[in-house]
Structure 1
Amino acid sequence: MLLSLLTVSLAAGSALAASTDDWRRRSIYQLVTDRFATSNDSSPTCDTDDRVYCGGTWQGIVNKLDYIQGMGFDAIWISPIVANVEGSTGDGESYHGYWTADQNSLNSHFGTADDLVALSSALHARGMYLMVDVVVNHMGGTSVPPDYSTLAPFNSESKFHPFCWITDYSNQTNVEHCWLGDNSVPLVDVNTEDDSVVDFFNSWIAGIVSNYSVDGIRIDTVKHVRQDFWSGFAEASAVYTVGEIFDGDVNYVSPYTKVLGGVLDYPTWYQLTSAFESTSGSLSNLVSTVQQAQSSYANGEFTAGSFLENQDNPRFQSITTDQGLVKNAMSWPFIQDGIPILYYGQEQGYTGGGDPANREALWLSGYVTQEKPLLQLVTSLNAARKAAIAANSNYLSTALTFPSVEGSTLAVLKYPMLALLTNGGSSSTPSWSVSGTGYDANEALIDVLTCTTYTADGSGGVSITGSAGEPVIILPTIAFNQTYCQSLSGSS
């Protein structure tokens, strides 16, 4: 029997300090609950083309927290938790969690209320945060018109916007009032102008955070709801909120940063993907977009979520498998101003294209950690970011700069970290010469990805020649724990 999210009262471990500022030092591992791990560690067949539940659960996540934490992540983002449309539709099953049927009940495919509490408690016992995905904009139907009586708690047509498909993304009213989805699964657009609907959602999100000790909220389809709805919703949650505004225009995304704790940084994502998907990508376009966002977002990019992959976009290795390009692109979220987010399976080299191919079962990888270059890359990047935060008390409020942008090479400075990137590809031998680093004359430096040591010149400048088109991430040797390098050589 499903339990009401608003009435359940369970002894979950209390949420950790989870303000927007507290989230800034975290790095997030995003996973699709149904595809990450099963409760009994089994490995059932999971064909993404089938678009069906494959068996992942909240208990399965608990079982694999060592795997996540071992890469250096201290927060996870899980799929929406509420009950969804049941059974097969013309678009498959709702294993992903975005076709809500009952806002007040949990998705029993993922487990029970006790299981969700256990996940929250297990995370908090490790000092990790829990982020839950939520959908406010719409609910899931199975026909046009939908059977409103099957939806809860909004079971009458008056609680939804009148039916119309979104046809004009340049018309914000059309974007906010018309419907996403298709004839098989229309996404029934909730009337968020209705005061009773607003009151429900504000109470609902407060209840989820309280009942399950949630530390942060990721919000789906934010641009499809009026902007002034979100400030009250965010305040009611009392935790960090990060919204999905699926758009590449900084000027369009920026206003949402004034009503939420942060946004997923789609404008930068578009340019990041373009810059590193081939050796002809534009690094200067990436630079200009980042600089525009730094000056336009309410908190700069400090509270934005930075990512390369997610459940809505093709995996980067479906675009290119050149490992030089892949490693440079993967490094970006960890060396920029905001909060890094890694989509599960990226560390295992998954190559799925667009939805549903990008929602593979991770158990098919065997959760292997040895001889996995991308997993080691992510582990090193997390270690480097933590070391930089520890070495500079102002690191999280220090805006990155670009001391060098030359052809296929880019230098990103966020003292004490200097990231040297290239889109020359794996057959290239990149070189960088960077001045104004802030390093002392002749200071000892280290590339945290390879543990190669360097020495700054008499002015603190850095001149480095790389190999195989791979990134170089520099820190002062004094700031980086050498036992990490010893463990790295011991595990290879």
Structure 2
Amino acid sequence: MKHIKILKTIFKVLSLLIGVIPIHALDKHGWRKQIVYSLLTDRFATTESVGCDPEDRSYCGGNWKGIINKLDYIQDMGFTAIWISPVIKNIEGKTKYGEAYHGYWPQDLFSVNPHFGTEQDLIDLADALHERGMYLMVDTVVNHMGAPDTKNIDFGSYNPFNKEEHYHPMCPIIQSDPLSLEQCWIGTEDVTLPDVDTENPFVIETLYNYIHDHVQKFKIDGLRVDATKHVRQTFWPGFCESAGVYCQGEEWTGEAAAFCEWQEYMDGLHNFPVQGVAAEAVVPVNDRALRKTSIAMNLVAHHCVDSTLLGLFLESQDAPRLAALNNDFNVLKNAMTLNLMSDGIPIVFYGQEQMLKGTHDPLNRPALWITGYDTEGPLYKYTTKVNGIRRALINTEDGEEWIRTRTHAVAVGDNLMLMYKGPVITFITNYGSVNKEYILKMPASEPMVDLLTCTLIEVENDILKTTIHRGEPKILYPYRLTMRDGFCADEMSLQGEIPGVFMGHNEIVRSDNT
């Protein structure tokens, strides 16, 4: 009888635990190993052929069934998770800024957006991902609701916060005032976002219960949290604990110390300090941008609790498309390499692999179906290759240590940055496909292999000598580990690189005669 009682107690505890944490959900350590494809549901895939003019700022017909139909496109590129737009019902109608196709103007937290499909469609998407061993991150908005008429707000139309007392009093945001950031309203006179009172006990309890049930119902594996800095910091630990899944917040600032403070309150953040300068490095005339990028990487690694849990991205719905800034293919390859091989959880915005253009909203949010989902495109194929390298490194016997190791970035000259992460050295350049080469020598104790080209790079007298042709990136890995882990088994270049002229320790020699 005693054993039966113990078993009953164990089963009861397990049942309670399963009720709190979805069995399919990843903890933060599991998310560290993922590669995320971020998409706007309305613009990624549709179930019927429709036109889409992004300048209209209107719904174009993308939906969850469409995503399911195009999961091969995402998975074949090497991505292991997707991050989709907010799924809840938004306000309807045309405003000065268009319709709420993006999902950030909520009206009802307890209903899904009918433009994207039904509740069952969303569950089917989660199931389809899980059957593939992939994961679902959902964008989450709890800071505010949406209102098209700032002078006549109908609080009764919202669910569950349908009383004016559930909101902070309307006031304009003053960026230099922390309390104003937390309690005043985002928006303009044309469209405003009533700010939910996250100090109100009823609101707090409702949101904590809501996110727990929301994650459970739709089998969500992780949350992207919108407008993080517009809610008091102490709200977030309870919210993420109630969700029971990894939370990655939007804290938009370029100052590393202030940014990293927020990681005390949630698992991860979008790495804005690095993104802000790394995106600038796509423009070659900005010769110091790679230096600034290396400094930002090192500051974030130093100040943050764990920089390997941050989300690293270069493109987003709020940022210019890189191909709009520079259409040099080798520059875009370097940007993708940086995106996928440095610290944190890589996040690639839909269409980055198709070199979509658009310098600003709404032009940077076109429908992806205009590309025909080309899997033979050069950057799609290159992204697939680098994702394969990253995943293979994670799966080596040292993979857990590698993925947890913080990158140390070193700028060498104005147009080259080295990223040291465990035994891997990644070369990033931004001078492009010009008819020039950089020649580098650096101390090394063993031969290395460029995993991108499977070229052997010999070491002579403890000096590694390598040449960077036409701004190509490199991913170097020790030869002995390359052999142990099965990289380049059928492609190894036995002749290695052609010796050149080398000068100085960690110095670059530039030659115009390639």
- Same-fold call, TM > 0.5? yes
Q: Is the 8 A contact 1:389 1:396 kept in 2?
A: yes
Question: Which residue number in structure 1 is paired with residue 39 of structure 2?
Answer: 31
The alpha-carbon distance between structure 1 residues 484 and 362, as it changes in their structure 2 partners (threshold 3 A), is: farther
Provide the C-alpha distance between the structure 2 equivalents of 1:53 and 1:271, rounded to a whole number of angstroms: 32
Kindly indicate whether residue 394 of structure 2 is the aligned counterpart of residue 383 of structure 1.
Answer: no
SS in 1 for 2:459: coil
Q: Which residue of 2 aligns with 1:397?
A: 404
Moved more, 453-462 or 348-357: 453-462
* Counterpart secondary structure, 1:140: coil
> Displacement, 1:279?
3.5
Looking at structure 2, the residues matched to 337 and 85 of structure 1 have their Cα atoms a distance apart, in angstroms, of 38
| Partner amino acid, structure 1, of 2:105 | W
Question: Quick check: 2:451–2:487 contact (8 Å CA) kept in 1?
Answer: no
Tell whether the 8 Å contact from 1:403 to 1:435 is kept in structure 2 after alignment: no
Partner of 1:454: 456
2:24 is aligned with what amino acid? L
**Residues of 1 paired with 2:462 and 2:108: CA distance?**
60
Residue pair 1:425, 1:468 contacting (<8 A) in 2 also: yes
| Residue 165 (structure 1) shift | 1.9
Superposition deviation, residue 482 in structure 1 = 3.6
1:368 match = 374
Q: Is the 8 A contact 1:228 1:259 kept in 2?
A: yes
Q: Supply the distance in 2 between the matched residues of 1:178 and 1:413 (Cα, whole angstroms).
A: 43
Residue 387 to residue 484, structure 1, CA distance change in 2 (3 Å): farther
Give the partner amino acid of 1:78.
Answer: I
Structure 2: how far apart are the matches of 1:169 and 1:485?
55
What does residue 197 of structure 2 align with?
191
Alignment equivalent of 1:87, drawn from 85, 93, 101: 93
- The offset of 1:274, in angstroms, is 2.1
* Contact map agreement 2:148 2:190 (CA 8 A) in 1: yes
Out of 233, 241, 245, the position equivalent to 2:247 is 241
Range moving further from structure 2, 361-370 or 281-290: 281-290
Structure 2 stretches lacking a partner, 5+ long:
1-21, 493-514
Distance 1:413 1:460, change over 3 A: farther
Q: Shift of the alpha carbon at 1:432? A: 4.8
Counterpart CA distance in 2 for 1:485 and 1:110 is 45
Distance in 2 between the 1:432 and 1:117 partners? 53
Residue identity in the other structure for 1:249? E
Q: Which whole-Å CA distance do the structure 1 matches of 2:406 and 2:441 have between them? A: 18
3-state SS in 2 of match to 1:399: coil
Aligned to 1:116: 122
The secondary structure found in structure 2 opposite 1:102 is strand
Question: How far does residue 43 in structure 1 lie from its aligned partner after superposition?
Answer: 3.0
Superposition pairs for residues 96-107 of structure 1, below 5 Å? 96-107=102-113
Q: Decide which moves more: 146-155 or 91-100.
A: 146-155
Cα distance in 1 for partners of 2:314, 2:439 equals: 24
The alignment status of 1:176 with 2:182, answered yes or no, reads: yes
- Find the structure with the greater CA-based Rg: 2
Q: Indicate if the aligned counterparts of 2:454 and 2:488 stay in contact, CA closer than 8 A.
A: no
Residue number in structure 2 paired with 1:230: 236
Residues 46-445 of structure 1 mapped to structure 2, 5 A cutoff = 46-145=52-151, 146-166=153-173, 168-282=174-288, 283-299=290-306, 301-370=307-376, 372-391=377-396, 392-393=398-399, 394-402=401-409, 405-427=412-434, 429-433=436-440, 435-436=442-443, 441=446, 443=447, 445=449
Name the amino acid aligned to 2:164: E
Separation in 1 of the partners of 2:179 and 2:91? 27
Distance 1:466 1:445 in 2: 14
Gaps spanning 5+ residues in structure 1: where? 1-13, 487-492
What is the CA RMSD across the aligned residues, in angstroms?
A: 2.0
Contact 1:418 1:473 in 2 (8 A): yes
Task: Please name the residue that 1:3 is paired with.
Answer: none
CA distance in 2, matches of 1:447, 1:432: 18
Matches of 1:24 and 1:183 in 2, distance apart? 41
Per-residue Cα deviation, 1:455-491 (whole angstroms, up to 9, x for no partner):
23046653222222121222343235447969xxxxx
**Deviation readout 1:328-386 (Å, 9 max, x if unpaired):** 1221121111000000001011011211111110111000111x111112111111111
Contact 2:301–2:407 (CA under 8 A) maintained in structure 1:
no
Hey, what does 2:470 align to over in structure 1?
468
Structure 1 runs, 4 residues or longer, greater than 4 Å off:
483-486
* Offset, 1:177: 1.2
Identical-residue share of aligned pairs (%)? 39
Kindly provide the amino acid, as one letter, of the partner of residue 18 in structure 1: L
Counterparts of 1:340 and 1:462, CA distance in 2: 29
Which SS does the other structure have where 2:150 is aligned?
Answer: coil
Whole-Å separation in 1 of the counterparts to 2:490 and 2:378 = 16
* Counterparts in 2 of 1:226 and 1:485: CA distance versus 1, 3 Å: farther
Shift of 1:430: 3.8
Are 2:439 and 2:465, in contact at CA under 8 Å, matched by a contact in 1?
A: yes
Q: TM-score with structure 1 length normalisation? A: 0.90
Shift of residue 19, structure 1, vs aligned partner: 0.2
Offset, 1:245: 0.8
Deviations 1:299-322 (A, max 9, x none): 1x1100000101111212222222
Task: State how far apart, in whole Å, the 2-side matches of 1:234 and 1:311 are.
Answer: 24
Question: Does the 8 A contact of 2:451 with 2:488 survive in 1?
Answer: no
Q: Alpha-carbon deviation of 1:277?
A: 2.0
Q: Secondary structure at the match of 1:139?
A: coil
Aligned-partner Cα distance in 2 for 1:453–1:473? 10
- Tell me which amino acid in the other structure corresponds to 1:199: E
Partner of 2:18: none
Amino acid at match of 1:131: M
Q: CA deviation at 1:55?
A: 0.6
Quick one: distance in 1 between partners of 2:256 and 2:409? 19
For 1:152, the aligned partner's letter is N
Measure, in 1, the Cα distance between the counterparts of 2:416 and 2:247.
34
